[in-house]
Structure 1
C-alpha cells in the first residue's frame, strides 16, 4: 500500500511540474501534497507509513483474526461467554486504566486462552501529539499493569485510533513491540446501525483478515453474534496474534 502511494504521488508530481514549472503554485502544491501525505500516513495504519504494522496474515486458507480494543469493560464478559460457547480465541488490546478497573475480567480473558495486547495506559485523545518519551511511558505503564494483574508479558501493541507518527514509531521501537493494525475496520464505535457494521465487515473479509472490533457495547456484541454465524457458514477458522507470530517463527 505504501509503495502505491509513492507511485501515485510521483505521477501527480511530474504532471504538476509539467503544467506549472517555475510557478509559485508549484511550491504551494508541494507543501500541500507533503502535508496531505503525512496526515494520510498518520491516520491510515494500513499504509505502514511510519511503522511496519502487521495488518493481515499471509495465508492460503480461510482464516481470520478477531481483535477487540479498549477493554476490559462491563460488556466484556458477554463477549467472553460467546467466544467460549463457540470455542473461538481472540486477541484483546487492553487499556491499562481499564485493566485496573476490571482486574477479574482481565484475568478471565487470560485464563480462557485469549491473546493480550498493549493499548496504552490511558488511551489519550491526544495520542498523536504526545512526545516519544510520553508514549514510551504510556506503553511501559500498561505493561506494568498487565504484568501485575495478569502475570504475563505481551509483545503486541496497537496504537490508539490507529494513529502513527515518528514519535510513536520511536516509542514502539524503544519498547520492542510488534505493532498490530487491521485490514477490516468495523467502525463499530461510529456507526449505530448493527446491520451496517455487519455488512461492512463481511464485504471486506478475505483470507488472513484482521478485524477491528471493540468489546465496549451491546451493539458490537449483537454484531459479533451474527458475524460468528457467518464465519461458521463460510467455513472460516480463526487465529490469534500469538498463534500467528508463533507459526511465523516456526516456518
Structure 2
C-alpha cells in the first residue's frame, strides 16, 4: 500500500497529460491532485506512506488492543477502575505535560500492569509543521518526564493526530521509536454520545484490531463499560502493544 497510491497517480497523470497535451490546466489539475494525495497520506496513519506504523496484529485469535491517548487526566482513574474490574490490560499513550500534571495517576497506570507509550511532550496543534529537530525534542522531553515520574522507558510512540510526514519519520528514526497506529478509530473526541462511540467500535473490530480511544471524557468511560461487556460476551481477549513489538538484536 505504501507506494501504490503514488504509482497509480504517476501513471494516471502521464495518461492524462498525453491525452491533453498543451493545456496548462492539465498540469494545474495534476498538481492539485498530487497535493491532495500527500495530505491524505499525511493524515491517514494506516496508509503507512511516510512511516511504517503498526496498525493491527496479524492473528486469527479473537483478541484486540485497547489504546488510550492524551492522558493521564482526571478521567483516567475511572478507566483504570473498569479495566481492573474486567481484568483487562491496555496501552496508554501519554502526553508529557499531562504526566507532570497527574504524576500519581501515571504511576497507577504502571503499577496496575498497563503499557505506556510516548505521545510527545505537548501534543502541539502544529505537529505537522514542526521540524525534525523540534519533533525529536518533543519525543525526548516526554521520555524524560516518564522516566523521572515512573522510572520507565518505552520504544512505543504514537504521532499526535496520527499525522506523519518526512520530518516526523526522521524524528522517529533518530529516537529509536516504533510508531503505533490503529485500524479502529472510535471518534470519541467528536462523536456526541457514548452509545454512538460504542456502536462504531463493535462494528469495526476484528481479531487483532488496535482500537483508538481517549481517556479524556466521561463519554469514553461510559462507552468503555459497554465495550468491555461486549468483549466478555463475545469471548474476545485483549493484548498490549508491547507484546507484539519484536526486540532488536545487536551484534
Q: What interval of TM-score do these two structures reach, taking the shorter chain for normalisation? A: over 0.9
2:54 is matched with which residue?
Answer: 54
**Correspondences of 1:229-248 after superposition (within 5 Å):** 229-245=229-245
**1:26 CA displacement:** 2.1
**1:14 CA displacement:** 4.7
Distance 1:209 1:21 in 2: 47
Cα distance change, pair 95–172 in 1 and its aligned pair in 2 (3 A)? same
Matched, 1:130 2:111: no
Cα distance change, pair 164–15 in 1 and its aligned pair in 2 (3 A)? same
Cα distance change, pair 196–157 in 1 and its aligned pair in 2 (3 A)? same
The range that moved more, 31-40 or 13-22, is: 13-22
**1:25 CA displacement:** 2.1
Is the CA contact 2:3–2:49 (under 8 Å) kept in the aligned structure 1? no
Structure 2: give runs of 5+ residues left out of the alignment: none
Matched, 1:27 2:33: no
**1:3 CA displacement:** 4.5
Distance 1:22 1:196 in 2: 51
Normalising by structure 2, report the TM-score: 0.94
2:245 aligned counterpart, secondary structure: helix
Distance 1:88 1:248 in 2: 27
Distance 1:235 1:247 in 2: 29
The range that moved more, 228-237 or 105-114, is: 228-237
Structure 1: give runs of 5+ residues left out of the alignment: none
**1:172 CA displacement:** 0.4
Over aligned residues, Cα RMSD in angstroms?
1.7
Is the CA contact 2:17–2:27 (under 8 Å) kept in the aligned structure 1? no
Distance 2:92 2:37 in 1: 31
Q: Show CA shifts across 1:42-80 (max 9, x none).
A: 111001110001111111111100000000000100100
**1:156 CA displacement:** 0.4
**1:248 CA displacement:** 11
2:144 is matched with which residue?
Answer: 144
2:81 is matched with which residue?
Answer: 81
1:40 is matched with which residue?
Answer: 40
Distance 2:34 2:69 in 1: 31
Cα distance change, pair 198–8 in 1 and its aligned pair in 2 (3 A)? farther
